[in-house]
Structures are given as structure tokens and as C-alpha cells.
Copies of this chain bind each other. A is one copy, B any other.
Amino acid sequence: MKRTKIVDVLKSTDFGKDVCVKGWVRTHRSSKAVDFIALNDGSTINNVQIVVNPSQFDEEMLKQITTGACICATGILVESLGAGQSSEIQAKTLEIYGLCDNTYPMQKKGQSFEVMRKNAHLRLRTNTFGAVMRIRHNMAIAIHQYFHEHGFFYFHTPLITASDCEGAGQMFQVTTKNLYDLKKDENGSIIYDDDFFGKQTSLTVSGQLEGELGATALGAIYTFGPTFRAENSNTPRHLAEFWMIEPEVAFIDLNDLMDLEEDFIKYCVRWALENCKDDLAFLNKMIDKTLIERLEGILKDSFVRLPYTKGIEILEEAVKNGKKFEFPVSWGMDLASEHERFLVEEHFKKPVIMTDYPRDIKAFYMKQNNDSEERRTVQGTDVLFPQIGEIIGGSVREESYDKLMAEIERRQIPMKDMWWYLDTRRYGSCPHGGFGLGFERLILFVTGMQNIRDVIPFPRTPKTADF
């Protein structure tokens, strides 16, 4: 008999018909008159209840149907009289595919996230991680759908790179060299001629620069791929390997870019609310009671659009009125999390797109405004969210070859391997811009989870590369 997924069984009203389900046992309650097996197959957070008349089945077999065991059950779909479920299955046949003894690490309910991380291969079978992973899937689909509908092309920028121009973070070296026999030149420098790529290579920290090559040819592209930072940051917000989305668009200005950022992020949040109802309801109940309210809040209003200089004025005014910050406020500084949260959560009470940052706290490629030399700003556009802080970092790019080169020289950035990047400004340069979104930051926001290690299947962090 053909298997039906539990998500479809629970939607079905074909009462009286036979169905076949397969999945993992969540609980098995036994009594003399009746057994109840709650079965889950990962297609939904909800279990289907299988009602078993124990007199019709082998007693020893029934005893083996323990939490975690994998079974196949057929039976009649009937309307349920129990609360919280609309249908259940009256078992006709039961078959055990895989036993699960009492050493199963996921047996107990309510284990700590710490313990679950050590069993990341099995935590996927729990309610919480099932919900998170289904939402993660939906957010990825929403992202592809959004960009496809809007005429962006998915563009695969390389992971292994010979350039570290952006200086966005520390890098992992990638090599096939025999570390026991490292060739060196007369100055004692390691020779990379015989390395796989004939030079020293690393894992990318951002696909943006290559993304600009795509955008200045195809018009609008987005990347969605793994990105790496070899920073020794053991925090609930950092991963050494994470996924990043980086759209890049030709012929866009600051206003268009802010429109794109806002429209995009609202699309993702709306998708979650519309397509992940059961999983969100579960997380709202078990993880974060304000989750759904916070997601709905994002959709309600337009985001505030706030130039950095104006933001500083608001913060200075607040200090004057008695607000205490750990870090002092002054023009030119990089905002600390406390400042961002004050603006978003206390002052405006909605998301803020901050723009026009001081040049010296932003990357070299951002488009320069025509303001004074000592207070020169650039067209950065960061989206600040409640609780999470910066969720998107973007900018219009400097398209003038001369201005870009002047900035590169001012910062003494080594560009010898970056001739190809400069070619975008040398040949048919065009106004363009884009932004980056850390995928796991989005998932944190949409699930209400607190630790970034719990929103990716197998987190890579300092001293951890299990599974």
C-alpha cells in the first residue's frame, strides 16, 4: 500500500478509507484496552495518533514499539474524538523497520540545547529542531522565489579565493601542500607554486566583489552560499561557516536600494507567517511567546529611514535627557548594539534603515557623498531590527574609477590581485549597489531561537567540527 505523508493524512477527510503511514514513534502509551502511538515523519510538527487494539497484535512486537523506533502502520482513517487532533488511524497492521533501545539520546523530553548540540545528528528528530529546519527551508525558498520573481539571477561566486580585499574577516587557508615538506625560498617564505592553485588560497569571506561582476553584466544577481570567518568568537551570534545572501543590482540608487531591502525582508517574514503556521505556533508556545507578534510587527509599518548623523543627534539628545549608555556617543563612532537597540526598540519602536555613515567606519567600495572632507559620509544602508540589531548591511557602490582608486590609495589597500574588480569601473562602469544578509541571523529572528548554533544543522565554531 502506498505511503501517505502525515502532513497530508492530517489534512484528509477521507474517513473510513485505509491509509499507510511511516515514521518515528514519539510516544507509545499502553493500557489493557488500547494503545496510542504518536507517530511523526518530519513532514509536519504534528503527530498522527495510531489507535491500537492490543488483543489484535503480538504483545512482544508491541513492546518493541518504543520512542524513536521506526514503524510502518496501516489502518482506517477515522475522525478523532480527542482534543487537538481531527483524525486518527485505527491500526490494522504494524511493521517495525528499526528498533530503538533505551540508549537513544533523544528519549527524554526537555533536554538542554547544550546536550542536543552534542547530538546534532539526532536533535533533528525533535519538535523544536524539526520546526526550525522546516522554517529554514521555507526561508531559503522564499529568498529564491523573491529574487526570481524580481528578475535577479542566482549567481555562484567562488568559495576558494586568492584575494582578501574586503578585509571582512580572518580567513581559513585552503591547501593541498604536504605540511611535512614545505618548500621555502631563500628568504624562508613558503613557496606556493606547487600548491593546488599555484598560489596561496583561502575560503571566501564575501561574494560581493564577484557579485558586482555579475550585476554589471546580467543587471541583477544574488548569491546564496556558504561564507567563512576564522574568528575565534565563541558567542551565540557567530559561526565559522554560515550562509549568506548577497544581491547586487545595476542602475540602483540609495532610495531604490532601501526599497529593495525593506520589500525583500518583509516578503520573507510574510512567507514565514503564511507558510509556517504550525511550526511558528509551536515555537511561539515553547521558545518565545512574543515571536508571532514580533513578526507581524515587522509587516505593519514602513521602516524608518535615518541618516547616521540624524541618528547621532537623537542619541545625544537622549543622553542629555538622562539615558545612560556604556559607550559614549559621538559623530564618527560605530554604533554599539545598545545604541542600535535604543533607536529601534525605544525611540522609533520599529525597524530602522540607517544610511550615510562616516566613511572611515565603512568599506572602501561604498559610494561617497559630496559632503565636507572632515565629515565625509558614504551611502551605506544597514537595516536594524528589534532584538537582533543589524540584519542587513548594504550600500551603493562607488562607480567612479578615480574616486574608488583615491580611496584605495588613501587606505593603502593592496590591489595587485584585484585588477578584475577595477575593470568594472574601467569598462562601461555603472551605478550599482547591493546588500548582504546573514541567513542564520534571519532564521534566528524568524524562529525566536537564541543561539545561532541551533538554527543550522551542524554548526562550525571554534574547536567544533563534528558530524
Q: Which A residues contact B (CB, under 8 angstroms)?
A: 3, 5, 7, 22-25, 41-43, 68-70, 72, 97-101, 104, 106, 121-122, 124-125, 129-130, 133-134, 136-137, 140-141, 144, 148, 151, 153-162, 170, 172-177, 179-180, 182, 188, 190, 196-199, 201, 203, 210, 213-214, 216-220, 225-226, 228, 230, 232, 240-241, 243, 250-251, 399, 420-421, 423-425, 427-431, 456-458, 460, 462-467
Contact = CB atoms under 8 A, between A and B. Distances in A.
30 contacts: A3-B251, A24-B428, A25-B428, A68-B427, A97-B399, A97-B428, A98-B428, A99-B429, A104-B427, A106-B427, A124-B217, A130-B217, A130-B218, A133-B153, A133-B214, A141-B144, A141-B148, A144-B144, A155-B457, A156-B226, A156-B243, A157-B457, A161-B465, A172-B175, A175-B175, A176-B230, A196-B232, A201-B465, A210-B467, A420-B467
A126 B398 CA distance: 24
Contacts of A121: 213, 420-421, 423-424
Contacts of A464: 197-198
A5 B152 CA distance: 12
B458 A158 contact: yes
A264 to B, nearest CB: 17
B463 A198 contact: yes
Contacts of A462: 196-198
A34 B130 CA distance: 65
Contact of A160 (B241, B243, B420): B241
B179 A68 contact: no
Contacts of A24: 217, 428, 430
A119 to B, nearest CB: 8
Contact of A125 (B217, B225, B467): B217
A104 B429 CA distance: 12
B98 A425 contact: yes
A349 to B, nearest CB: 32
Contacts of A176: 170, 172-173, 230
Nearest to A211: B457
A210 to B, nearest CB: 6
A427 B99 CA distance: 6
A219 B466 contact: no
Contacts of A42: 153, 217-220, 250
